[in-house]
Amino acid sequence: MLLTDALVLHAFDYRETSRIVRLATRQAGVVSAVARGARRPKSRFGSGLDLFTSGVAHLVLHPTGDLHTLHAFDVGRARPGLGDSLARFRAASALGELGLRVGPEDPGGAVFSALTEGFDAIATSPDPLVCAETLGAAWRLVAAVGVAPALTHCAACDRALDAAEPARFAPRAGGALCRVCAALAPGARLIPAEARAALTAWSSGEAVRLEESPVRRAHQRLLREFVEEHLADRTPLRAWRAWESEDR
């Protein structure tokens, strides 16, 4: 049996008395596990499998299958603040969806740590700051799996970029491009120097404030397009898209 720090990212009913949960774990990446009897009135799981709850998972890993067994879950932190406002809940759902997409190949725990820190930040943020906190957590999550975008050098030719100048950003190419390479990348979007500075700050763990709604939406879209290109088999991130459109 594996005892590991874990975070509940998704859960749904299974048969009459059980639940299947998706957990981000420190030692096994993102896994699916069946919690037998979790829906019974006197279940040993209690409310431990609520969304975004952290704790210690007692897992029995299946040697060949993708569905494991959750024997017990010792609750550590419930994060009720994520459900206190629609803004925080939608943001946490978007971040959780991203974690589900990037986390299965993460036995080192980087995804678990990035998600835990992100949910903690969102849970304590006032609504106007939630978007920036979520974007920062998401870019750190992307960096944790080794696919952070090129920001200071051209993603195609590695030429140094002037930090004070706008640059074209192409998700398919892997980030910012110099003028020469941008001309060969249809669909590359011009982003101002301030936006590139924000991406750099987020990737390194610094805080960034986003005051204007159009700026927030532009950042949400940029990250979504990058993730769908590199980490999600180009399938839509539904929760992310819903969060992206909430303040239109």
Are the C-beta atoms of residues 116 and 7 closer than 8 Å to each other? yes
Query: Model pTM?
Result: 0.89
Domain locations in the chain as residue ranges: 1-78, 81-248
Are the C-beta atoms of residues 19 and 51 closer than 8 Å to each other? no
> Residue 48: what pLDDT?
75
User: How does pLDDT run along the chain (248 residues), one tens digit per residue?
Assistant: 899 999 999 999 988 889 999 999 999 889 999 999 888 888 888 777 899 999 999 999 988 878 999 999 999 998 999 988 899 999 999 999 999 888 766 768 889 999 999 999 999 988 889 999 999 999 999 988 888 899 999 999 999 999 999 999 999 999 999 999 999 998 899 999 999 999 999 988 888 888 788 899 999 999 999 998 887 676 788 899 889 887 65
> Residue 247: what pLDDT?
60
> Residue 228: what pLDDT?
87
Which residues have C-beta within 8 Å of that of residue 170, sequence separation ≥ 6? 155, 177, 182, 185, 187, 188, 189
CATH class of 1-78: mainly beta
Which residues have C-beta within 8 Å of that of residue 71, sequence separation ≥ 6? 1, 58, 59, 60
Look-up of token digits 């930040």 = 121
Look-up of token digits 């971040």 = 95
Task: Say yes or no: do domains 1-78 and 81-248 share a fold.
Answer: no
Look-up of token digits 């030719």 = 157
Are the C-beta atoms of residues 221 and 187 closer than 8 Å to each other? no
Are the C-beta atoms of residues 178 and 161 closer than 8 Å to each other? yes
Tokens at 99, concatenated: 């974690």
CA–chain centroid gap for 192, Å, is 24
CATH class of 81-248: mainly alpha
Rounded Cα gap, residues 147 and 141, in angstroms: 9
> Residue 232: what pLDDT?
64
Could you write out the DSSP letters of every residue in 183-244? TTSTTPEEE-HHHHHHHHHHHTT-------HHHHHHHHHHHHHHHHHHTSTT---HHHHHHH
Neighbours of 75 (CB within 10 A): 16
Largest separation between any pair of C-alpha atoms in the chain: 65
